[in-house]
Amino acid sequence: MDPTLIKAAINQVMPFGKYAGRRLFHLPEPYLVWFHKQGFPENKLGEQLALMYEIKLNGLEPVVEPLLNDD
């Protein structure tokens, strides 16, 4: 997996819904599980949400957390 894609995904801000304004990295796992069951959107955001689902599912948050932007 390309580290630039991971960095972009974890720093992406959720544009809608209950968690609008939060970075995808900070979305709760149950929310990502819900998306997984319902189907991720068929766009770039959907791909990033699916990646975040896999990161959280496999407990990789500590590995990717250093890629979070400081802002």
56 contacts 48 by C-beta, under 8 angstroms: no
Task: Encode pLDDT of 1-45 as tens digits.
Answer: 788 999 999 999 999 999 999 999 999 999 999 999 999 999 999
User: Nearest-5° angle of CA 56, CA 42, CA 54?
Assistant: 15
Q: How many CA atoms lie within 13 A of 47 on its CB side?
A: 6
Q: Is the pTM of this model over 0.75?
A: yes
40 residue type, one letter = F
If phi > 0 it is left, if psi is from -120 to 50 it is alpha, else beta; for residue 13 that is beta
Tokens encoding 70: 């400081």
